[in-house]
Amino acid sequence: MERNLSFNLHVLTARLDRAANRTLQAEHNVSYSRFLALTLVRELGTPTQRALADCLGVTEPSVSRMTAALAAEGLLDAQPDPAGGRRRRLSLTEKGVRLVTSVQQGFEERLAALVARSGVPYDEYAEHTARLLAAFEDLERGGTK
């Protein structure tokens, strides 16, 4: 029985997430969700915990617990926001930068090998992925393309 494309997308996403989590746990002793948080902090610059929670789609208390654990591991720095209040600004430590850089490079190499194994040219895969991400970003900004 042939599955529909939407189902296949869900299965592929779940498999990629599980594989990433297994690799991160085994090689770096960090969960995929925590790695995503570190990656987003790097991409966003020095976000607040609230901004990170919004990007991850989780609650602020959840991000607060996660960032405390990442700070305790020496991967993340959480400082009071200069604008005041109870907000905290997040940034990667040097150890966090090294981890994110290393993992991203390793994942890129593994993904390239997987894509090549599937018979799909990697440059085509990368081009189509970039176009899909651009379409998502356009939709999130309220575009109609």
Q: Does 1.10.10.10 match the CATH number of domain 7-143?
A: yes
How do residues 26-48 score in pLDDT, each as one tens digit? 999 999 999 999 999 999 999 99
Share of the chain above pLDDT 70, in %: 97
What pLDDT does 144 receive?
Answer: 64
Q: How confident is the model at residue 6 (pLDDT cuts 50, 70, 90)?
A: confident
The residues spanned by each domain of the chain are 7-143
What pLDDT does 145 receive?
Answer: 52
Residue 109 pairs in a beta bridge with none
Which class for 11: exposed (0-12), middle (13-18), buried (19 or more C-beta within 10 A)?
A: exposed
